[in-house]
Every structure is written in structure tokens, then in C-alpha cells.
Amino acid sequence: MTENLLLAFGLTVIAGLSTGIGSALALFAKRTNTRFLALSMGLSAGVMIYVSFTELLGEAGHQLELAYGETNGPFWTVVAFFTGIVVIGVIDRLVPEPSNPHHAGSIEDMSPERQPAKLMRMGLFTALAIAIHNFPEGVATFAAALADPTLGISIAVAIAIHNIPEGIAVSVPIFYATGSRKKAFWLSFASGLSEPLGAVVGYVLLRNYMGPAVMGWLLASVAGVMVFISLDELLPTAREYDEGHLAIYGLVAGMAVMAVSLLLLG
């Protein structure tokens, strides 16, 4: 049990702090590789969608049938799934549009001629938005890894990929506002800390109640969160980064990679 806890928390930390990768790419690259971002975000969406419908909901249904019986279990699985969608949807609506970390942007969009105060405010608001938005993602990664380490690894990788553009969104305006790559990098890096924080808070609140009912609700709602993030954020943003079909190619590739991985490890 202790090993699973450490692994689950470690995966959440890695997923959250991958904002630093995006920050490094932005601060040391002259141009945004939009094709890479479009493909990688599509890949991330493919992994999340496939895992949600083939693994998370199945395991959630099993746990909730143990808790509520074969008749009521499927009903509560559906309720928990859409509860996850509603929760992440509300959080997404509370994030101001200009600070939304999933709005497609690029290095070229930023200019040192823009007012430093406005750029600094933009970067800090974006960092705060990411912190709020990533909190439930931390719970999601932690819960999935606790239920199944292999599943947790897959979800952590998918979330890590989709956190890369968030690092860009924070670091670029802060860099142009301050002229400091170091400050921009560390603020971007720190914005991902809300994911492991979400894991810790979730565990502290639920550890005394962990059983089939709680685990089933967590897994089903996590599936809802993943599907919402993929359809509302990752795929639309990927399409904005690239006009072609790279987002869909990435989506299919992500599903295929996840399917093969589960077959080999199952």
C-alpha cells in the first residue's frame, strides 16, 4: 500500500511539473513548433479518451456494483461520470478567458514592446488559472495510479504532455515583462505544483473512507474529467495550432498506443 501511495504521488508530481518543459521550450526556442504541439495534444487526448471509456469506467462500474449492487451500480457509475464533467466544466467557466491556459498561443504572439505591467499580470493570472485548473487533475492522476499503477502511468504521461503548452502560456509573458528567463521558468514550474497538492488534499480527505464506493466514484468522475478536458480543451487547441489533420492523427495514435500498451500489460 505504501509503495502504491509513493508511486501515485510521484506520478502526480511528474505530471504537474511538466509545465517546466513547456517553459524551457518557450524560453530557449525562437519559434513555436506548432506541429509538435498539435500532434502531442492530440496524442494526449487520445490516451485520455481511450483510457476513460475502456478502463476507468469499467473499473468504476465494478467497484460501484460491489458497493451498491448489480442493479444500482451502473446507475451510480453514470451519475459519477457526469458529475466529473460538471465539476471540471464549472472550474473551466470560472477561469477568465484571457487567462485560460489552454487558449492557443505562441512565442511569436508576444512582443517586448507590449507594456511590461500588462504582460506580468497576464503571466501571473495564467499561472493562477493553471493552479486552479490542475487541482482536480492531480486528484485524477493520484486516484487512477492508486487503483492501477499501469493506468496511473498512462494518465500521468497524457497529463504531462498537455501541461507543456501551459508552461508556455505562463513563462513567455513573464519573460518579456521581467527580462529574466530564470524567473519566468521558476514561476511556470511552480504553477504545476497544484497537481501534487490536489493529490495530497484528496488523499487526506478520503483516506479514512477509501472503499469500493469512494474508489468507484473517484474513477468514474476522473473519466468524466478526462473526457471533458480532451473534447473541450485539447482537441480544439490542437486544431488551432495546426490547420491540417495532425490533431486527429495524434488522437488516433494516442488511442492505438494506449490499446497496445493495455494488451501487452494486461
pLDDT means per 10 residues, the chain with 266 residues, are 76 83 70 71 84 87 93 95 91 62 50 58 67 74 79 79 74 73 80 82 78 87 87 80 78 87 71
Residue 133's nearest CA partner among 108, 102, 160 is: 102
Say what the pLDDT of residue 73 is.
95
The per-residue pLDDT for 67 is 93
Quote the pTM value: 0.71
| Burial class of residue 186, CB neighbours in 10 A (0-12, 13-18, 19+) | middle
Burial of 221 (0-12, 13-18, 19+ CB in 10 A): buried
Q: Which residues neighbour 107 within 8 Å (Cβ) at sequence distance 6 or greater? A: 26, 29, 30, 31, 32, 168, 172
Alpha carbon separation from 61 to 75, 130, 202, 209 (Å, rounded): 9, 31, 21, 18
